[in-house]
Structure 1
């Protein structure tokens, strides 16, 4: 009988354009790769189904624990991209306890959507937020590329398999 291994991620650190922002953010939401779908119905079909039409925009958010000038100058302009890297540790447990730790690294090219100036209340810490959209994402777990999505180059790979090779060929981009 094969043993079960539980994987757990409990923390992360972020980097902007290679600069370490250790302990300066409280939360990061890297977003989700989502399909855009439309309904499909045909004569003789007893039901309606959804089929993918492409990929939706990728949006996320960084919640800061304060205002930091070194982050602000990178994120104040919506016209410039920023390289966001999120690094985390995946703990692997089995019936013997902690048996391994794996690196999970997510690389994104982001464009800030807002620059919050702050909300202030007595005895309540200001937690500025930076919502963003991403035009590129690459996720690597323990050295293995899980996902690569480059919106502007029409590249979408899952586990190294090009999901859009025929599409690019059919529209003359190969």
Structure 2
């Protein structure tokens, strides 16, 4: 099967943001590692310790007041949801649709105003600190990371406790 993901609908705290965002970069989930070695071991191994800080970013085409008020307060979190049709093509080349959903709890940490150039649209950018990130495909949650909670991360619905928490 061939899978293709393109375009998405954006929601900020439940407000539809279609046509507001040119691009959105989802966070990278990186697991911090600690080295462990002891007597009787032939070597040193790296073990998972915690989730590194996560960031996301958006390039806006414009921000109406109801979105701008949510996106510029660095102490209040907002929920961003990105929903996309994942086009899957079977061996006959027929499309089989699927839903790809990313859900994030974010706080703005850097707000670039954009550049004013004659005859060109300004595209302000926002960088977000991400506290929560989940990725769901066709109703199945692939992974879920809540950096604030002490419950670890979930991968395919299974709770994975990290060492050193």
Cα distance in 2 for partners of 1:127, 1:118 equals 5
Paired position in structure 2 for 1:73: 69
Of structures 1 and 2, the one scoring higher in RCO (CA 8 A, sep 6+) is 2
Instruction: Tell me how far 1:95 sits from its aligned partner.
Output: 2.3
Paired position in structure 2 for 1:20: 16
**Equivalent of residue 161 in structure 1, options 130, 148, 158:** 158
| Contact 1:116-1:128 at 8 Å conserved across structures | yes
**Equivalent of residue 118 in structure 2, options 105, 116, 122:** 122
Cα distance in 2 for partners of 1:129, 1:113 equals 11
TM-score by length of 2: 0.88
| Contact 1:79-1:111 at 8 Å conserved across structures | yes
Q: How many residues align?
A: 163
Instruction: Tell me how far 1:62 sits from its aligned partner.
Output: 0.9
Deviates more, 1:20-29 or 1:151-160: 151-160
| Contact 2:90-2:96 at 8 Å conserved across structures | no
Cα distance in 1 for partners of 2:114, 2:139 equals 39
Taking the TM superposition and a 5 Å limit, the aligned residue runs for 1:18-167 are 18-39=14-35, 45=42, 50-155=46-151, 156-164=153-161
RMSD of Structure 2 on Structure 1 (CA): 2.3
Cα distance in 1 for partners of 2:141, 2:63 equals 34
